[in-house]
Copies of this chain bind each other. A is one copy, B any other.
Amino acid sequence: MMRTRPLKVALLGCGVVGSEVARIMTTQAADLAARIGAPVELAGVAVRRPDRVREGIAPELVTTDATALVERGDLDVVVEVIGGIEPARTLITTAFAHGASVVSANKALLAQDGAALHAVAEEHGKDLYYEAAVAGAIPLIRPLRESLAGDKVNRVLGIVNGTTNFILDKMDSTGAGYQEALDEATALGYAEADPTADVEGFDAAAKAAILAGIAFHTRVRLDDVHREGMTEVTAADFASAREMGCTIKLLAICERAAHGGSVTARVHPAMIPLTHPLASVRGAYNAVFVESDAAGQLMFYGPGAGGAPTASAVLGDLVAVCRNRLGGTTGPGESAYAALPVSPMGEVVTRYHISLDVADKPGVLAQVATVFAEHGVSIDTVRQQGKDGEASLVVVTHRASDAALGGTVDALRKLDTVRGVASIMRVEGE
């Protein structure tokens, strides 16, 4: 039975994502109404530049006064697609206080202040949904929070930043260096003029914090996420990866420790085997691999960014929140009951690929192997290559803690016979 009074939706931000949300709300209005059980009406759009022409949006809906919009008091849902911390945070809390539920695509804000925002939502009995904050169109937060609610997730391993995946894929497929691949990504619009948030892993770290919290039913703050960017990945690293049957991806990795009592979250470039499903994720696509006790290995794949894909996720949330509202209920809120400590990077256990420049003389391998042994890091394979008095040693380890590996590398640097540590890269997905 269709209710006739429409649900009122305000849109904060009308850029690449917001304009797509508004467009779909208009063009798919009949379908949205049928799926929700009531029509939805765009009640206002807060923008920074009111003079810009916005196709399909009635000019009288547009305002620069976002605060007045969220304070109206008659809104059912506020959709926040401004991004950044402020004014988004204040607008969202104001929206809750004035009776609206909130759909957000704001990964930075959710990663930093998710717990506080959930608390405000709960205090006012409202929904806070944010599927679009992680991996764009890919249904990921809902599957983790609901489909896997009866399972125990042990690991989330994902490519959650399309810009860096485009760059790394380009380096892999063409042999290009980092700067050349970045330039192409910029020219094609995949990288922003200032690519720092992407290439230094800040964007992926925010997503890792959100995913870890949901996957493990605990709180993981942005500061808890170990972060390394991918600007130092070289063509030589890709060549080394190929020799191991691997490629290199910037991964967000959230893990439950083997003993189960703590979790870790990290973002860094890593080698993964070409046989791993994540290895074949091309271009700007995202994919997230989830391992759980009962389900086993799942993967979710799709476009991780872009106006229409992100709008798809926003609208899925909008339909859910509107249905909840009509049913006089709310969806699952924050689930952080497990309250697990987040272990530092030193406690992460994984494998390592280390390239050393060494003197080409007898006994070097013995010296190097001794250092690994003294730090409790077991060697899987070693490859020696020498020419003209210089030589390189490539060591792949068995699983060891990051702290033990760090100690090993520090000690290696002090050896007279080690001229330099050319690269250290973790090996994941095995």
Partner-B contacts on A (CB < 8 A): 20, 24, 28, 31-32, 34-35, 131, 137-139, 142-143, 146-152, 217, 277, 280, 292-303, 306, 308-309, 311-320, 323-324, 327-330, 332, 335, 337-338
B146 touches A316 (CB 8 A): yes
B294 touches A24 (CB 8 A): yes
Q: Which residue of B lies closest to A301 (CB)?
A: B299
A309 touches B296 (CB 8 A): yes
B294 touches A146 (CB 8 A): no
Q: Within the assembled complex, what's the spacing in Å between the Cα atoms of A79 and B220? A: 34
B301 touches A296 (CB 8 A): no
Of A295, A303, A312, A329, the most chain B CB neighbours within 10 A belong to A295
Q: Within the assembled complex, what's the spacing in Å between the Cα atoms of A329 and B330? A: 10
A301 touches B277 (CB 8 A): yes
A-B contact pairs, 30 of them (CB 8 A): A20-B294, A24-B151, A31-B152, A31-B217, A34-B337, A35-B149, A35-B150, A35-B217, A35-B335, A35-B337, A131-B147, A139-B143, A139-B147, A142-B143, A142-B146, A142-B147, A143-B147, A146-B320, A148-B312, A150-B312, A150-B315, A293-B308, A295-B303, A296-B308, A296-B309, A297-B303, A298-B302, A299-B300, A300-B301, A328-B329
A315 touches B302 (CB 8 A): no
Q: Which residue of B lies closest to A326 (CB)?
A: B329
Instruction: Name the contact of A303 in the complex, choosing from B151, B296, B318, B335 (C-beta under 8 A).
Output: B296
- Residues in B with CB closer than 8 Å to A24 are 150-151, 294
- Residues in B with CB closer than 8 Å to A303 are 295-297
Instruction: Name the contact of A138 in the complex, choosing from B34, B146, B298, B332 (C-beta under 8 A).
Output: B298
B137 touches A296 (CB 8 A): yes
Extra contacts, 8 of them, besides A148-B316, A293-B308 (Cβ < 8 A), are A20-B294, A142-B142, A146-B320, A147-B316, A149-B315, A149-B316, A151-B315, A323-B332
- Residues in B with CB closer than 8 Å to A320 are 146, 149
A329 touches B332 (CB 8 A): no
A279 to chain B, nearest CB (A): 10
Q: Which residue of B lies closest to A327 (CB)?
A: B329
A139 touches B139 (CB 8 A): yes
- Residues in B with CB closer than 8 Å to A338 are 31, 34
A149 touches B299 (CB 8 A): no
A319 touches B139 (CB 8 A): no
Q: Within the assembled complex, what's the spacing in Å between the Cα atoms of A148 and B277? A: 24
Q: Within the assembled complex, what's the spacing in Å between the Cα atoms of A177 and B82? A: 57
Of A131, A149, A320, the most chain B CB neighbours within 10 A belong to A149
Of A31, A280, A312, the most chain B CB neighbours within 10 A belong to A312
Q: Within the assembled complex, what's the spacing in Å between the Cα atoms of A194 and B295? A: 26
Q: Within the assembled complex, what's the spacing in Å between the Cα atoms of A319 and B150? A: 6
Known: A142-B142, A294-B308. A314 touches B150 (CB 8 A): yes
A105 to chain B, nearest CB (A): 13
A299 touches B299 (CB 8 A): yes
- Residues in B with CB closer than 8 Å to A315 are 149-151, 294
Q: Within the assembled complex, what's the spacing in Å between the Cα atoms of A328 and B329? A: 8
B299 touches A302 (CB 8 A): yes
- Residues in B with CB closer than 8 Å to A297 are 302-303
- Residues in B with CB closer than 8 Å to A330 are 327
Instruction: Name the contact of A152 in the complex, choosing from B28, B147, B299 (C-beta under 8 A).
Output: B28
Q: Within the assembled complex, what's the spacing in Å between the Cα atoms of A419 and B31? A: 52
A67 to chain B, nearest CB (A): 27
- Residues in B with CB closer than 8 Å to A317 are 150
- Residues in B with CB closer than 8 Å to A149 are 35, 315-316, 319-320
- Residues in B with CB closer than 8 Å to A292 are 312
Q: Within the assembled complex, what's the spacing in Å between the Cα atoms of A138 and B316? A: 19
Of A142, A151, A335, the most chain B CB neighbours within 10 A belong to A151
